[in-house]
Structure 1
């Protein structure tokens, strides 16, 4: 009797674990940088493994009662397949889709009625799938354990600088907004100049040939906020760089230097993309907190207004100077994957339609800042270009020396309002990696910081058309090159 109970408990627990293990490993291995936090680990183990074990054991006990004797043999097969397919659906499509859940229920019922005798073989198959999935997760885990922050170390004592000037600083980042020089020509060919003319009227200094060093929000901002090159950590990924969110949102060198100089720091974002893996917040305040961000999310579906929180902050600001990072997720870039693209011209049209909305927001934000804080430094700095001219974003993995395509990736908009004099050091501004070092040189009146500027290359991971690796594709002078690191 005891041995049969023991076998029953063992099969129940195995059925529950097998149902959740492969979907868990599948999701984590395919979305590692979105979930590489301890809170995610606890959540996934609880939801995908512990909860099924508890539910399966409870329902198995209920089913063993005499009144359910006829259906007891169907309980575990049904639960196992239903939970397995439901978790797999969740891993592929975040959210709750009622018709998909009903469909999964029907499939599980049919399987249970006709094939329940093969239940143990299905469990074994699920376990084998989990073993295979674990091999895909291992490289990510190794990268995480081997990850070193040495690349972030500064070449001088910039972390200890003291500002002589302490204006409020506003970094406004429109995603994928190509610089004005590229916007008027090449694949973009947009003649509308409303924003450009407005910024010139408001005495902004424009940097028409400015570009980013890296090709995505995470890779570009990691370099921007550390004032250092990372070269994609020598991996072949540019859209999801390991530990990038922890760097951008955490205690990075830029935020630390502002805090060391008595600044409060504020992060405002339309979407919680940079918070998707729930990094430790390094900013003093934000319009998003961890409870606003789901555990299974890309951080791109949710949306909040940034203008009203900014207005409230300006109206209630104390005597401390403040650094604001304001992230706008438009105009963005073209479609990421090949399977979803609509063709080069249609992708261009879609990008231009989003550009119009972006310009309206920027006009409103700049007008608000100039009204409420005329002495603040306002930096409009895009993370990268819009990839217009490609069919889809990941085409950038293929070798090209087409000048317009490369500048469509890296050409990034930069405009700065210097409320006092335009510093001589501004002539050094060419790419993202050195923007804050040059700004800090101006605020601290320390020209020695300019002696250790980073080189100004732009880099891409190349997977096709050449030996795989990280390549410099634009050099310090803006010339197209193709040099493997």
Structure 2
């Protein structure tokens, strides 16, 4: 069996018949499956799949087939196999570099690859068919994890509430503005040895404006998607595989416990975001309004470079808001956390530079937040305004993905999870409801308990635990327990 397969492969490679269409298809198939194996959560809609298939397969097929047919017309027919050899490698690396944003150094690398491929092709041009076999073979390795995701069953059991909070009837009906400044850490972290940053002026401003700042608030998960999917579900998901790999966005902006509770109380819901990060894969929106239309989101690119003016969108959307109650989720990607990937500089230098950049972002966020708060207080003085970050800023790490490896440094752990929470309740009665508010998973349960004036909902607060999935040692680990103590315990989920 193996010998027969080997002989068929050799016959294919040694055949005089060229296969430019198959050459283009093999490259395109590999690129398509490579992209989806790494980015399934960003492009799992049918429209994206259709356009990605066209982009990654039709372009290579067209380029290689057209060039193959044109070369004889310009008396260069003898170089057709060289063209296929070089073209396959050139297209492959161009698209791979394009996925990681093509920069000058990568353009230079691509040029070197093409030049090297040209010289190699002079002697080994017939072996372009070996690339065809290799790409098809490697495609199956990328297909396996994709099929695992596609045929995996979404677990929705964890989203079920332990009580009837989704049917809570609000006795207080203010407009609610939830402002999320990405990665804005809590006051305790600003005072520690890593951040060592004087943010007193902003804390004083919030105090003057009537905000209650929760000094040691933290997130339950270390990423935007994991933290928000838990928060909007008012439940722990423990980094469930389907949530972590592809379903977080559907939960955050789609059908979730928070939006259902608000809609049961006839609230209009508004999603305003600076970037299309939460809707890149075009999930079914559970919000009545979104400032970003799906038609505006790039299909091939991830849309991360696209920016929208959140403040202007907020102003435009609050001109004619209804009197029946409104909820706004406002996503601002400032200050953001430190850089994601490792840089080719000394670790201590990277730590300092990333921290400095982050703190500059904090100053920028403070200015923006004051502008938004001033506007909302004038426009909607009776509203509840929540400033709640999704996670910490990761200062102290050289890059944020470094947190995928075990650390016992308490300041770094706090830097991952410590998240700003400040709420303008406009009501002293709220003090009777938020005494146990410590982590993000319970923010909306506390809010809905207050609005419905029903303390029984506080009996089912989720545990104030913080989790992280590590690459080394591999697995899901508890980093901070319900008492706020730092631990290191593997969770079997």
SS in 1 for 2:477: strand
Deviations 1:303-359 (A, max 9, x none): 121001111112222333211111111112122223356432222212111110010
Tell me if the contact between 1:77 and 1:116 (Cα under 8 Å) persists in the aligned partners: no
Deviation of 1:463 after TM superposition, in Å, equals 3.1
Q: How does 1:142-157 map to 2 (within 5 A)?
A: 142-146=148-152, 147-157=154-164
CA distance in 1, matches of 2:26, 2:80: 19
8 Å Cα contact 2:24/2:60 also seen in 1: yes
Give the aligned partner of residue 338 of structure 1.
Answer: 342
**TM-score normalised by structure 1 residue count:** 0.88
Q: Deviation of residue 79 (structure 1)? A: 4.3
Q: Which residue, 263, 266, 274 being the options, matches 1:270? A: 274
Cα 1:57–1:222 change in 2 (3 A) is same
CA separation of 1:409 and 1:109: change in aligned 2, threshold 3 A = closer
Paired positions, count: 472
Residue 355 (structure 1) aligned with residue 362 (structure 2): yes
Alpha-carbon deviation of 1:473? Answer: 1.4
**3-state DSSP of counterpart to 1:354:** helix
- Aligned ranges 1:198-237 → 2 under 5 Å: 198-233=205-240
Within the candidate set 424, 434, 443, 1:435 is matched to 443
1:257 matched to 2:261? The reply is: yes
Report if aligned partners of 1:218, 1:241 keep a CA contact under 8 Å in 2.
no
Q: Deviations over 1:422-459 (max 9, x none)?
A: 42111121100011111111112222222221111111
Q: 2:185 aligns with which of 162, 178, 199?
A: 178
Contact map agreement 1:167 1:377 (CA 8 A) in 2: yes
Residue of structure 1 aligned with 2:484, choices 475, 478, 482: 478
CA distance change for structure 1 residues 262 and 125 in 2, over 3 Å: closer, same or farther? Answer: same
| Distance (whole Å) between structure 1 residues aligned to residue 126 and residue 169 of structure 2 | 68
Contact 2:22–2:132 (CA under 8 A) maintained in structure 1: no
Conserved in 2, the CA contact under 8 Å of 1:204 and 1:415? yes
> Conserved in 2, the CA contact under 8 Å of 1:19 and 1:80?
yes
What are the Cα deviations for residues 115-154 of structure 1, in whole angstroms up to 9, with x where unaligned?
2674452232244244335324523531442232222222
Report what 2:175 is aligned to.
168
1:153-189 deviation per Cα after TM superposition (whole angstroms, max 9, x unaligned): 2222222222222211100001111111221223111
CA distance in 1 between counterparts of 2:17 and 2:156 reads: 46
Q: Secondary structure at the match of 1:416?
A: strand
**CA 1:391–1:107 in 2, change beyond 3 Å: closer, same or farther?**
closer
Residue in 2 that maps onto 1:141: 147
* Alpha-carbon distance in structure 1 between the residues aligned to 2:435 and 2:323: 32
State the match for 2:9 in structure 1. none
Per the TM alignment, residue 241 of structure 1 is displaced from its structure 2 partner at its CA by: 4.4
State the partner residue of 1:11: 19
Question: Post-superposition shift, 1:282?
Answer: 2.1
Gaps of 5+ in 1: 1-6
- Supply the distance in 2 between the matched residues of 1:399 and 1:108 (Cα, whole angstroms): 41
Partner in structure 1 of residue 138 of structure 2: 132
CA apart distance, 1:294: 1.8
Quote the RMSD (CA, aligned, Å).
Answer: 2.9
Change (3 A) 1:222 1:8: farther
Deviation at 1:82, TM superposition (A): 3.8
Task: Indicate if the aligned counterparts of 2:194 and 2:396 stay in contact, CA closer than 8 A.
Answer: yes
Name which of structure 1's ranges 367-376 and 55-64 shifts more when overlaid on structure 2: 55-64
Q: Scaled by the length of structure 2, what TM-score is found?
A: 0.87
Q: Is the 8 A contact 1:22 1:127 kept in 2?
A: no
Q: For residues 300 and 431 of structure 1, what CA distance do their matches in structure 2 show?
A: 28
Provide the C-alpha distance between the structure 1 equivalents of 2:77 and 2:245, rounded to a whole number of angstroms. Answer: 53
CA distance in 2, matches of 1:37, 1:389: 37
* Structure 1 residue 412 displacement after superposition: 0.8
Give secondary structure in 2 for the equivalent of 1:220.
helix
Q: Could you say which residue in structure 1 is the equivalent of 2:4?
A: none
* 3-state SS of paired residue (2:386): strand
* Distance in 1, Cα, partners of 2:477 & 2:273: 31
Q: Which residue of 2 aligns with 1:468?
A: 474
Shift of 1:224: 0.6
1: CA distance, partners of 2:113 / 2:241: 44
Equivalent in 242, 246, 262 of residue 246 of structure 2: 242
The 3 A distance-change label for structure 1 pair 229 and 208 is same
Bigger mean CA deviation after superposition, 380-389 or 445-454:
445-454
Contact 1:20 1:87 in 2 (8 A): no
